[in-house]
Amino acid sequence: MNAAPLALNRSLKPLPKPPVRIVHLGLGAFHRSHQAWYTQHAPDAAEWGIAAFTGRRPDAAAALSRQDCLYTLVERSAGGDSFEVIGSIVEAVDGANTARLCELVAAKETAVVTLTITEAAYGLAADGTFDAGTPGAADDLRALSAAASGEAGVPGTPLGRLVLALARRRDSGSGPIAVVSCDNLSANGEVARRAVLGLASGWGSGLAGWIEANVSFVSTSVDRITPRTTEADIAEVEEQCGYSDNSPVVAEPFRNWVLSGDFPAGRPRWEEAGAVVVGDIEPYENRKLWLLNGSHSILAYAGQLRGHATVADALADPLCRKAVEDFWDEAAHHLQGEGLDIPTYRRALLERFGNERIAHRLAQIAADATTKLRMRAVPVMAAERADGRSGAGSALMLAAWIDYVTAGNDFQDPLAAEIQAAVALDGTNRVQGLLRLVSAALAEDPGVVALVSRLLGSFATTPAATPAST
Ligand SMILES: NC(=O)c1ccc[n+]([C@@H]2O[C@H](COP(=O)([O-])OP(=O)(O)OC[C@H]3O[C@@H](n4cnc5c(N)ncnc54)[C@H](O)[C@@H]3O)[C@@H](O)[C@H]2O)c1
Ligand SMILES: O=P(O)(O)OC[C@@H](O)[C@@H](O)[C@H](O)[C@H](O)CO
């Protein structure tokens, strides 16, 4: 009988355990492949430990805690896998444990709070402002107001919990701190600032003013394709590494992190691990959000309509590939700037997306479309139309999404009820109703509605049924 493999922990792999100076909200796959990797590879890693909180469930924190917060990062290239144990996370906590969050954020030693809570968790309205009316925000505003007056009140969203913890930091006199959004949002620092200040209004008693003066909201562009871990990944780590790891994470070899903003209480020297610190982040953000995430959205809807399950499969379909390249041509008109090198970036994306060993599921990317399309299709289309062109490449992304939700596919979206109501309408009203959830301005433009309507059905045929081109 084979002996059970040894479990991964700090006795088996005695990595240093630095003190907590970073608090992370959203303990998912991406944080572990990206910010935790950069922190481990910074030259001052010995001073910077991370306490990471889950978002909605305790499971990931419980699993990681069972192995002293160590996990294996599997770097998966087209040619093979390499393995590295990451130890920069030193505490993994259930997000509902607001007492521990408050304690850590209020501590003088804590200098940075990072976020990977997904785009939908910022509670944005269609115009990009904070929407106090979403159920999560409304509940948190009430909870924060109760907590401020000493009554029982515990916020349930990550940003509501962060506001509670920032109130504790103010009370403890621990001074300024940086909040760093690592979610795929344009101007993610500014979005985080608006959402935090919006929720802080529930607390009252000058908390919003204190946050304005003491919290630096850093914007970042983050990049490393990190699909969800599978059972096969867990089995592979056991076989190749000789220990059992319940929480490995798989990522492509490529990684990129561009940051812009102040860190009033310090930060790890991430730039010496390859991160880039810039003054103006917008061109980098747009390049990444439009070219990578925008084409991911096209592939998610068009690809699934054509029967594909992964990014690599969809990209191999000429119809999907053409839609991606047409959108890239459009977006490139509005990506000017020194060092952006769009042709090289595009070539690299084709190679990254084509890595068949990274099974990046289209269903995962398809989630939360209304929030994502506002930052991926809408700005490019608006810029194209302002320059007198049609914006057909961006319109095709919107048409593919409309076909996808109309076809009765399962989807997750903060506006799911509104999407269902719009889908129940007919013809142009349906198109206009769905566009309105993404951009009121585009929905009111008859030219856009007509263009998107004309493009419906573009991906209706499966590849096998597509007539051979002549
Ligand atoms: N995975 C990637 O390749 C990648 C790359 C770049 C950026 N990102 C950004 O990171 C985010 C997280 O990606 P991931 O791969 O870690 O996902 P994940 O599903 O592994 O983890 C997401 C974390 O956020 C929490 N969460 C999810 N939805 C939430 C909500 N509505 N409210 C509160 N908490 C919520 C989850 O509980 C979990 O802790 C993405 O949405 C994206 O903005 C991901
Ligand atoms: O939920 P999303 O669409 O923001 O993320 C899914 C993928 O598009 C995304 O995770 C990319 O892999 C990532 O942005 C690459 O850096």
One domain for residues 105 and 253: yes
One domain for residues 166 and 126: yes
Going across the sheet that includes 71-77, the strands are 80-86, 71-77, 249-251
One domain for residues 197 and 67: yes
Q: Atom 17 in ligand 1: which residue has the minimum CA distance?
A: 28
One domain for residues 287 and 250: no
CATH code for the domain in which residue 205 is found: 3.40.50.720
In a domain, 208, yes or no: yes
pLDDT tens over the chain, length 470 residues: 567 889 999 999 999 999 999 999 999 999 999 999 999 999 999 999 999 999 999 999 999 999 999 999 999 999 999 999 999 999 999 999 999 999 999 999 999 999 999 988 998 887 888 899 888 999 999 999 999 999 988 999 999 999 999 999 999 999 999 999 999 999 999 999 999 999 999 998 899 999 999 999 999 999 999 999 999 999 999 999 999 999 999 999 999 999 999 999 999 999 999 999 999 999 999 999 999 999 999 999 999 999 999 999 999 999 999 999 999 999 999 998 888 999 999 999 999 999 999 989 999 999 999 999 999 999 999 999 999 999 999 999 999 999 999 998 889 999 999 999 999 999 999 999 999 999 999 999 999 999 999 999 999 976 654 443 32
One domain for residues 250 and 304: no
Q: State the residue range of the domain holding 359.
A: 283-465
CATH code for the domain in which residue 347 is found: 1.10.1040.10
Pocket test for ligand 2, best of 185, 250, 293 (most atoms within 8 A of CB): 293
Q: Could you count the other beta carbons within 10 Å of the beta carbon of residue 390? A: 14
Give CA–CA dist 237/74, Å, rounded.
Answer: 8
One domain for residues 259 and 288: no
Q: Calculate how far, in angstroms, residue 433's C-alpha sits from the geometric centre of ligand 2.
A: 26
Give CA–CA dist 409/406, Å, rounded.
Answer: 8
SS3 assignment, position 218: strand
Q: Which of 261, 264, 294 is nearest to 278 (CA)?
A: 261
- Return the sign of the alpha-carbon dihedral for residues 95, 41, 242, 233: positive
In a domain, 44, yes or no: yes
Say if ligand 2 is within 6 A of residue 184 CB.
Answer: yes
One domain for residues 212 and 292: no
Q: Which ligand is nearest to the CA of 122?
A: 1
Ligand 2 nearest-atom number relative to CA 360: 12
One domain for residues 19 and 80: yes
Q: Calculate how far, in angstroms, residue 365's C-alpha sits from the geometric centre of ligand 2.
A: 6
Ligand 1 nearest-atom number relative to CA 117: 24
One domain for residues 224 and 291: no
Total number of domains in the chain: 2
Say if ligand 1 is within 6 A of residue 377 CB.
Answer: no
Ligand 1 nearest-atom number relative to CA 55: 37
Phi, psi of 4 (to 5 degrees): -65, 140
Q: Which ligand is nearest to the CA of 60?
A: 1
Q: Calculate how far, in angstroms, residue 296's C-alpha sits from the geometric centre of ligand 2.
A: 7
Give CA–CA dist 17/47, Å, rounded.
Answer: 9
One domain for residues 125 and 227: yes
In this structure, what DSSP letter does residue 220 have?
E
Last-in-domain residue among 263, 279, 295: 279
One domain for residues 317 and 377: yes
One domain for residues 301 and 195: no
User: pTM for the whole thing?
Assistant: 0.93
